Amino acid sequence: MNEEKLIRVVNSLPLFAHNFLKIRTKSGAIEPFIFNRAQNYLHERLEAQKSNIGKVRALILKGRQQGCSTYVQARDFHLVSTRRGKKAFILTHEAEATKNLFDMTKRYNDSVPEGLLPKPDTSSAKELNFNSLDSGYAVGTAGNKSVGRSQTIQIFHGSEVAYWPNAEEHAKGILQAVPNEKGTEIILESTANGIGNYFYNMWVAASTGQSEFQAIFIPWYWQPEYTADAKEGEVCSPTDEERELINIHTGDGLSMRHLFWRRRKILEFSNDFETGRELFNVEYPMTALDAFRNPVVDRFIKADLVTKARRRVVESESPLVIGIDPAISDHDRTAIIRRRGRLVYKCETHFNMNTMELVGAIRRLIDKERPSKVCIDCIGIGAGIVDRLLEIGYDCVEGVNVARSANDKDKFRNLRAELWYDMREWLAQELPVQLPDSDELLGDLTSLGYKYDSSARLQIESKDDLRRRGMKSPDTADALALTFYVGDYLHEGGYVSNKIPYKASGMFI
């Protein structure tokens, strides 16, 4: 290879990887690193951003074992070993992953021909330093809140960010070690881990244009190894669901052979097809919406019920009922939602409103929209809001204590479980239901698990348990559930509430 061609190869990451870097394949073989479709796409997106704004700020959402970490590690190694003044730091979610990524980079370094690049002056279990270039590469594990905080780095790779135990602390620390300068790179990649965590919030901000990060999604069916032939006796024609997937994704490469592989994988997850499919969608998503579905197995409301309702159009002249789940903290939302019979519309959320601001907002809402009932969660700050609204004459307001005993005490642990059950039955009924086309509402409705207590009563996952899983309070779904407190609508007499005083004692959650 002549000098001119060698310079061109060294300066191009795809050519550099193909000619000089070695990877361990899924079969265990050591082979030259030739980019697959996902890696080529990722490279094009990052290089385009670098060309446009002079730096890289990217979030990558992908399925299992698609080679994104392999690509980013090669990118980081290429930068620190061929450029001056580049310090790279890689942060993973667990010690084993840290070791695996560092071993991958050491393999890259060992595979480069002697004399082509500077050899590292320091090579330990966690660092490679190229003193002649004033560049280096180091790794750490996210369990330590202060890891990497004191460094000044130009390249940062966060791996499996959705699983970092101290993500908010790292955002305040290590990410701030990367200056906002041209030539710097921050790449955060992960499989999804539900909603409400740091990675999910970053993804929402990036995908809606609220941050400088670009959102990059990699679908599972881009991997040629995720295919299979039909088994003997297997139905070769697509199911209705598979036919819909083909109609949507065939132009992007989805084939029937992918779907044969998908069928087998779903059965590996669970003998129950619906449960297996939902778990598959999280691990091997076709869309970002699939990825961020709640990973809990025993999900009380299945996503397909909500998805169908988002696609429907329903007209209703039923009286308006408004559900309100109030909050005044920085972390929880005040959620307001409207329901007219089988039609739900105009879901809205608010942050950082104090009690009096909420009272004023609800007064204006009632005066403008004239609802038949306004059901407000009266646990905590809601009690004062309800008392004030009733005091000033808003008789349509109903305080709902979801922690009190259920109306059917033998079937439900508390009123919250009963209301969520009523809401699920309403979604599953044969008559069509329309929900707002809202990812936020879908995420909240499908976020909760459930179980039965020793008395065989239904118990819905508590907000505290949800937070322990790193997920946010399902405020919009709780607001919708509140609208079912008014009970059945009687044409001759309006709504008849499930009337138990809101200050009655009950089972608190």
Q: What is the pLDDT of residues 88-102, one digit of tens each?
A: 999 888 888 888 888
Residue length of the chain: 509
| Domain shared by 239 and 204, yes or no | no
CA-derived radius of gyration, the chain: 27
Asked which of 76-90, 210-224, 274-288 is least confident by mean pLDDT, the reply is 274-288
Task: Return the pLDDT at 471.
Answer: 67
pLDDT > 90: percent of the chain:
48
CATH code where residue 347 lies: 3.30.420.240
Angle at 362 between CA 358 and CA 366, to 5 degrees: 175
| Domain shared by 88 and 202, yes or no | yes
Could you tell me if residue 508 is inside a domain? no
- Of 293, 322, 356, the residue at which a domain comes to its end is 293
Split into its structural domains, the chain has a count of 3
| Domain shared by 205 and 225, yes or no | no
CA–CA dist 426, 368 (Å, integer)? 28
Q: What is the pTM of this model?
A: 0.64
| Domain shared by 72 and 111, yes or no | yes
Confidence band for 490, pLDDT divided at 50, 70 and 90: very low
Q: Is 343 helix (H, G, I), strand (E, B) or coil?
A: strand
Residue 145 has pLDDT above 70, yes or no: no
Asked which of 12-16, 32-36, 303-307 is least confident by mean pLDDT, the reply is 303-307
| Domain shared by 203 and 288, yes or no | no
Residue 118 has pLDDT above 80, yes or no: yes
Confidence band for 331, pLDDT divided at 50, 70 and 90: low
Confidence band for 64, pLDDT divided at 50, 70 and 90: confident
CB 73 within 8 Å of CB 108: yes
CB 149 within 8 Å of CB 91: no
Task: Return the pLDDT at 493.
Answer: 44
Could you tell me if residue 88 is inside a domain? yes
| Domain shared by 244 and 335, yes or no | no
Encode pLDDT of 343-359 as tens digits.
Answer: 999 999 888 888 899 99
Over residues 304-329, the mean pLDDT reads 88
**28: containing domain:** 3-218
Over residues 50-77, the mean pLDDT reads 94
Task: Return the pLDDT at 503.
Answer: 41
Asked which of 85-89, 214-218, 294-298, 303-307 is least confident by mean pLDDT, the reply is 294-298
- Residues with Cβ within 8 Å of residue 119, at least 6 apart in sequence: none
| Domain shared by 276 and 182, yes or no | no
Task: Return the pLDDT at 391.
Answer: 92
| Domain shared by 45 and 158, yes or no | yes
CATH code where residue 174 lies: 3.40.50.300
Residue 492 has pLDDT above 70, yes or no: no
First-to-last C-alpha distance (Å) of the chain:
71
Could you tell me if residue 350 is inside a domain? yes
Confidence band for 293, pLDDT divided at 50, 70 and 90: low
Residue 499 has pLDDT above 80, yes or no: no
| Domain shared by 479 and 347, yes or no | yes
Mean predicted lDDT score pLDDT of the chain: 86
Residue 477 has pLDDT above 90, yes or no: yes
Encode pLDDT of 152-174 as tens digits.
Answer: 899 999 999 988 888 888 777 77
Beta strands in 160-213 (DSSP E): 185-190
- Of 167, 184, 218, the residue at which a domain comes to its end is 218
| Domain shared by 190 and 90, yes or no | yes
Kindly give the pairing relationship between strand 450-452 and strand 397-400: unpaired
Structure tokens at 344: 């739900």
Distances (CA, A) of 109 to 31, 101, 133, 504: 14, 13, 15, 69
Could you tell me if residue 507 is inside a domain? no
Could you tell me if residue 298 is inside a domain? no
Could you tell me if residue 503 is inside a domain? no
| Domain shared by 182 and 255, yes or no | no
Over residues 283-302, the mean pLDDT reads 76
Confidence band for 74, pLDDT divided at 50, 70 and 90: very high
Could you tell me if residue 381 is inside a domain? yes
Could you tell me if residue 301 is inside a domain? no
| Domain shared by 426 and 314, yes or no | yes
- Of 174, 189, 218, the residue at which a domain comes to its end is 218
CA–CA dist 504, 498 (Å, integer)? 13
